[in-house]
Amino acid sequence: MADDIRALSTQLAQDPQSLVFLRLADALRRKGQLDAALRVALNGLERHPHLADAHDLYARVLTDKHDYARAFDEWDMALRIAPNHTGALKGLAFLYFKVGDLAQAEAHLDLARRVEPDDPTITQAIEMVRGGASPPSPEPAPASEPAATAASPTAAVSAPALDESRVFAGLEGAQEGLLLLDAAGRVLGGALRHATGGADVTDAVAAYLAGVSQEAARTTKLLGLGAWTGLSAEGRAGNVHLAQPSPEALLLVVRERGVPLGRLAILAQRATAMARRWLERQG
């Protein structure tokens, strides 16, 4: 292994643009040299930002370092570049499993199986998800090498759970366009930036939202429409969706104008499910 790393390092030094960084970073990762693996992966990603394998590799190193939120973003990016990237699909399945979203975990594994129906690791992972056990941490699949099948020793099943204080860890826009509040308008998770200015408007918006939800509840009650389930709005510079993950909590999703209300509602559903689970864990 050490010889491999030396050889790969030499190759990379001779040709920094080559894709050998993928194998080198993976070798370092397997050896447990995560910081070194991270540096190599990041350097490679800077040179090859549109390479799905590079994002996949970076996500794996992040997973080994338990930075699941960023790992999620990287796998999400990999899928945007290459929607059938099985490594990314397996990676996301792993993360969804870790947060307890078995349906999403299985859905991603099913997609992966459609792309690679002969990959036994995917079938095995699906069985594990259905049986409630954790699937093995996904292995890298660099273009020049066959996929490994052994579970990574550095991403063992006993790895600590996602940071529960970060409600939306792993969901796109977690740090900027998702906000979870209690009924009094106090922030429970997420954050919000001004859609055009970029300033942090979390507290200001939170203060208004409690009033909005109370008025929404009153409106539907007095008009005989039953309990309110959602409020969607198109603004001139962005779109918003307000939901109630629980009777004592509010969820706001904000996206740019280009994201249609329908898609926003789907994103809000995912965020609502995550918020609900987080709230249940808080007790």
Contact positions vs other proteins (CB under 8 A):
192-197, 201, 204-205, 207-209, 211-212, 215-216, 218-220, 222-240, 252, 254, 257
Q: Note the Cα 141 to chain centre separation in Å.
A: 20
Closest-CA residue to 58 (of 76, 75, 80): 75
Q: Note the Cα 80 to chain centre separation in Å.
A: 13
Q: Of 142 and 245, which has the nearer Cβ to other proteins?
A: 245
Q: Of 70 and 276, which has the nearer Cβ to other proteins?
A: 276
Q: What are phi and psi of 162, to 5 degrees?
A: -55, 150
Q: Of 27 and 243, which has the nearer Cβ to other proteins?
A: 243
Structure tokens at 243: 């939901």
Q: Of 59 and 264, which has the nearer Cβ to other proteins?
A: 264
CB 167 → other proteins: shortest distance, Å?
18
Q: Of 159 and 210, which has the nearer Cβ to other proteins?
A: 210
CB 221 → other proteins: shortest distance, Å?
9
Number of neighbours of residue 224 by Cβ within 10 angstroms: 6
User: CA–CA separation, 8 vs 251, rounded Å?
Assistant: 48
Q: How many angstroms separate the Cα of 239 from the Cα of each of 46, 190, 233, 252?
A: 32, 17, 6, 10
Q: Of 163 and 234, which has the nearer Cβ to other proteins?
A: 234
CB 276 → other proteins: shortest distance, Å?
18
Structure tokens at 173: 């826009």
DSSP H helices in 65-160: 68-81, 86-98, 102-115, 120-131
CB 263 → other proteins: shortest distance, Å?
13
CB 59 → other proteins: shortest distance, Å?
30
CB 72 → other proteins: shortest distance, Å?
24
3-state SS of 126-150 is HHHHHHCCCCCCCCCCCCCCCCCCC
